[in-house]
Amino acid sequence: MKENISIWFEAVSGSLTALFEEVAGFLPSLFAALVILLVGYFVSRLLRFAVSSILKKVGVDKLAQATGIDQQLSKFGKNVGVSSTLAVLVFWITFLVFIVTAADSLGLSQLGETMDQFLRFIPKIIAATLILLFGLAAANLIKNAVYNAAKAAEFDFARPLSKAAYGLVAILTLSLTINQLDIDTVLLDTIIAIALATLGVGTAISLGLGSREASQNIIYSLYVSDTVKVGDSVTTKDGIQGNVVEITAVVTILRTPDESLKVIDNKNFLDGLTIH
């Protein structure tokens, strides 16, 4: 009985001794990892503060507001400014480097390798994010430019046209963003090509068949706008005399001397027109 107790005691004692030795051997590595994380945290915070201050001083936030990038950022959540967003990104990239170092010091090589691969992928994420933000900002600028130009030309379809321009640039931006992440975009590119081809065919059919009359009037509205202006006094080939009140995409409206309004199709308006 005593021999059994002695054997059991020696086994337990040996296990506890081995455990304590492993813990004692692990403590220096754990302490080193904690020190690395602590130093990394303060270094990361310092870099975040420095990057945020420098970017604000050079006017990055004002540039982002002027180009509409901050407006695009606000769609993903709380609007904190481009400088603050980039500063937070710098913080986490720096801190992740220290986390990888701490994991290596603990002998967690698998975790370190995984995080190292993620760190290598971060530049692509940053590039893709910048492409997305600048692309959407450019799409917004193009939308406004198209809308203003179409509105200045007094096109009735200024808003749909501007939205179509925005959608086209946004889709191309999305394709470039996904491609930057090394994701196969063959399917997306095919869908875009099919959509554009469908739009082109639909427009051609519309111009040639279904809405031929309206399409002709829309085309002639360009010539009418170049020939006469609102306020001009004119006489049509049918003897209708009046002042041009409005030139729409389809018709031109005249105000006659008796204050009545005459609506004339654009394609017939210039035929035999006399401008006083």
Whichever domain contains 247, its CATH number is 2.30.30.60
Q: CATH code at 133?
A: 1.10.287
pLDDT at 230: 86
pLDDT, one tens digit per residue, over 58-110 is: 777 777 776 666 666 666 555 567 778 788 888 888 888 888 788 777 776 66
Those residues with Cβ within 8 angstroms of residue 19's Cβ, 6 or more apart along the chain or in another chain: none
CA distance 92 to 48: 9
CA distance 123 to 181: 10
Verify that 41 and 80 share a domain, yes or no. yes
Q: Does a structural domain hold residue 118?
A: no
CA distance 39 to 32: 10
Verify that 62 and 87 share a domain, yes or no. yes
Q: What is the DSSP secondary-structure string of 143-195?
A: HHHHHHHHHHTT-TTHHHHHHHHHHHHHHHHHHHHHHHTT---HHHHHHHHHH
Q: Which two tokens stand for residue 180?
A: 């930057």
Q: Does a structural domain hold residue 116?
A: no
Q: Is the pTM of this model over 0.75?
A: no
Q: Does a structural domain hold residue 216?
A: no
Verify that 145 and 198 share a domain, yes or no. yes
Domain count of the chain? 3
Say if residue 240's pLDDT is above 80.
yes
The residue segments making up the domain with residue 227 are 222-275
Radius of gyration of the chain (CA): 35
Verify that 226 and 203 share a domain, yes or no. no
Say if residue 209's pLDDT is above 70.
no
Single-letter amino acid code for the residue at 217 = N
Q: Does a structural domain hold residue 260?
A: yes
pLDDT at 172: 83
Q: Does a structural domain hold residue 3?
A: yes
Q: Does a structural domain hold residue 35?
A: yes
pLDDT at 6: 58
CA distance 239 to 99: 86
Identify which of 102, 124, 122, 123 has the alpha carbon closest to the alpha carbon of residue 112. 102
| Of 81, 107, 133, the domain-final residue | 107
